[in-house]
Structure 1
Amino acid sequence: MSEESVATNEVVNEGEVEVAMGLAYSDLNKDQLDAIFNTEDMDERIRLTAESLNVKHYSNNARSAIIVDFCYFNIMFAKENEFTDQQTSAFYSIMLKVFVSAVDEGISSTEAFDLFKKLILTHSIEDGEAVELYSLPLVKKISNYVSNTFFRYLDTYKYVFATVQSVVTETTELQVETPLVPQFLAEATTEENVEVFDDGEEGGDEGAEEEDGAGTGLGQGGEGVGEVFELSV
């Protein structure tokens, strides 16, 4: 199953349920469970749940977010009802397998509920092929929770995962300024401006310079105004 509909370690079809020691720690091991319970930060718990599912795009993929949230709230239900670690991990795997079978593999709602009952029963009776994890009162509590959450909205889950999402393409024109192409250094020339003042022609009469504007270099040809030469090298 893709990241949008998370794959499990094994496909569970009716008649193929193999539970030697139960499903505890088959999809969610004790270290992962401890990490989730050891933090009080909800975002971190969700991140760790996504990590256990190998989901990497929780924040920007709606389908990935749905499966992660589904598994996360199952874990929180177990925590609130004081499940043991084994009970929590087994419940996590049971619901994940039911979700995959119903949503990804497309079995009917009736078949999905039958699978759920079979998996719960397998973990409620101690015999050669099962392990007793859940007492009768706990089975009733789990059944009520699952009926009022997952099975109530199963058709919605199926619709979201089965419907091809529409894609809207928008085109926007952008104006990008093109930088000027610099000249090659081999084609460049050097130019040096030099201002040369003829000190010999300035004259010694400072009063004449002030009258003709020589002090600012704005004289109109009067005596004592230096000439400006531009030399190109």
Structure 2
Amino acid sequence: MDAQPDHLLVVDDDREIRALLAERLAAAGYRVSTAQDGAEMRKALGRAAVDLIVLDLNLPKEDGLALCRELRTTSAIPIIMLTARGEPIDRVLGLEMGADDYLAKPFEPRELLARIRSVLRRTRALPSNMEPLDARRARFSDWTLDFEHRHLIDPAGRTVVLSGAEFRLLRVLVDHANRVLSREQLLALGAVRQGEDRAIDLQVSRLRQKLGDDPRSPSLVKTVRSEGYVLASPVILE
């Protein structure tokens, strides 16, 4: 039996953009659904499984950032955010809310196609050790990492949204708790991607901030000089 085409959901309040993207993506072999706002997006997600969401940032009522945050509390569906804004802060906010990629309008449809293929390929190429397997979550030092929904729950029970990069890094550190991992090992295990290894210090810094870990004297994600990083905590898998 032939494999079913990937199902994409385009969420944009501009009818012409929705129609154009639906046409171009369908021509590229994808199954495409569209929605004009958050309410229609939820209905579409309730009707059928979706492999990737193309989400406009500037939506009426509920903007793309709010919807991205909501999606990340319940789903690991890859998200590519679209926006007409050009400020770097918007890109940072989108990625911090858990988007997997970001594309500023105006853009060429073929560039979006390339981003979609890259995100889908990247998502499916995660090492097997990053799959949930028998565990759905991990508990460490009163924190909980939810593997299914790709977010953290802090000691007070509040949800902490992780970007894709932060989730990958923390997942690998949790999987290898109390073992020092070098930059090369983090790269091989999928904690960072090719080309991102030089930014590992920044990723660790952002992760420590999410964990409330004192950067001057971290107690959870520790630096071992000349060796690498380690999650210094017992981990309970559930």
Q: State TM-score, norm by structure 1.
A: 0.26
Quick one: higher RCO (CA 8 Å, sep 6+), 1 or 2?
Answer: 1
- Greater percentage in strand: 2
Q: State TM-score, norm by structure 2.
A: 0.25
Larger of the two Rg values belongs to structure: 1
